[in-house]
Amino acid sequence: MALRWGVACAGQICHDFLTAMGTLPAGDHQVVAVAARDMQRAKDFAALHKIPVAYASYEELAANKDVEIVYIGSVCTNHYEMATMFLQHGKHVLCEKPLTLSSRDTIALVELAKSKRRFFMEAVWSRFFPAYEYIREQLASGAIGDIVQVNANMTIHFPEGSRVRTKSQGGGTVLDFGVYVLQLVLMVFGPRMPLEVRAVGHVNNTGCDDATAVVLKYPGNRTAMVGTSALADMNNDAVIWGTKGFIKIVDPFWCPTKVVSGNETKEFPLPPGAHPYFNRNSSGLRFEADEVKRCIRQGLLECPKMMHEESITIAKIQDEIRKQIGVSIK
């Protein structure tokens, strides 16, 4: 039976998510309704993606009894309020990253979802790529020995004035890119807080972190070095180093199609979508959609591949990084 989605917002990421869903077998997923603040935008989006109902208010979407799960793809400054509303209306929620602007709000959403007994997940799509499944298998097999370090740098140049570089719009590379480098560290080293987090960073005149460099200490002689930057396009490979070798997740490491492990290079091609995508490799959002369906049909309230604890730890590390580099939280 198709999973019945509502879509909150009609922006770029929502476009990409529905286009990716369109690459899945017909009948697996059904988009029941879309809501945007602007009726014309909602209608145009509904027409393009063949969605039967368009709303100009999120409240109407929340009230739609046919919607099982809401995908929240709005700007992150609205996530907390919107996720709260949908959960209170009894919807399951898949919410884009960064989930909220502070660990306090992330914890509150997790608590609300648990109390309402609804599925709730931060949309860390990376975790569901076949490339990531392969990496987890490689790690579990001991192919690269004992892990000693995880290195990941997420860097995309954005000009000054961009949302990512504007505090009032929920920007900051710790929130926007940090979630990706940290989710990788947690996937390798586990969901708990590291022993230590040490960060430096550069804060712009909007109060927003344009660039950070962070080191993390884990038990068992393990470390991570992660960076985020909107100042320049640097290499976005990520590497997991072990005593016997390494796994390289080829740029873009957060939505990869290529993994190098030892002398072996594995390719994981993505299908094209019916419409052009705004972001790189967005067809890979299909794996996330399927995982959400699997979890909900099995009655799970959290996804074992992207647990609540992980979202909370990521948010706590992000709080700590921002505190150390002098960025106010919320």
CB of 239 to a copy of itself, least distance (A): 7
Q: Which of 225, 260, 307, 329 is the binder for a copy of itself (CB under 8 A)? A: 225
Amino acid of residue 304: P
Under rule CB under 8 A, residue 227 binds a copy of itself: yes
Q: Could you give the 3-state DSSP secondary structure of residue 223?
A: strand
Contact between residue 63 and residue 89 where contact means Cβ atoms under 8 Å apart: yes
Binding of a copy of itself at residue 162 (CB under 8 A)?
no
Q: H or E element: which one contains 94? A: strand 92-95
- Asked if 320 interacts with a copy of itself (CB under 8 A), we say no
Give least dist CB 174 to a copy of itself, A. 13
DSSP state, residue 303: B
251 binds a copy of itself (CB under 8 A): no
DSSP, res 193: P
Name the one range near a copy of itself by CB under 8 A: 81-89, 135-143, 225-233, 280-288. Answer: 225-233
Query: Which of 59, 64, 108 lies closest to 85, judged by CA?
Result: 59
Q: How far is CA 83 from CA 22, 31, 99, 109, 177, in A?
A: 24, 18, 9, 7, 21
Beta carbon of residue 247, minimum distance to a copy of itself (angstroms, whole number): 12
Q: How far is CA 178 from the centre of its chain?
A: 10
Q: Which is nearer to a copy of itself, 108 or 234 (CB)?
A: 234
Helices (H) and strands (E) in the chain, counts: 10, 14
Looking at the Cβ atoms of 100 and 229, the one nearer to a copy of itself is: 229
Q: Does 196 bind a copy of itself (CB under 8 A)?
A: yes
Dihedral sign from CA coordinates of 298, 82, 203, 234 = positive
Q: Is the peptide bond before 219 cis (omega within 30 degrees of 0)?
A: no
Choice from 52, 145, 262, 271 touching a copy of itself (CB under 8 A): 145
Q: Interface with a copy of itself includes 234 (CB under 8 A)?
A: yes
SS3 category, 242: strand
Q: Considering the complex, what minimum distance in angstroms separates the CB of residue 251 from a copy of itself?
A: 13
Give min distance, CB of 200 to a copy of itself, in A: 4
Footprint on this chain of a copy of itself (rule: CB under 8 A): 145, 148-149, 151, 153, 155, 157, 195-196, 198-202, 210-217, 221, 223-225, 227, 229, 231-232, 234-235, 239, 241-243, 246, 324
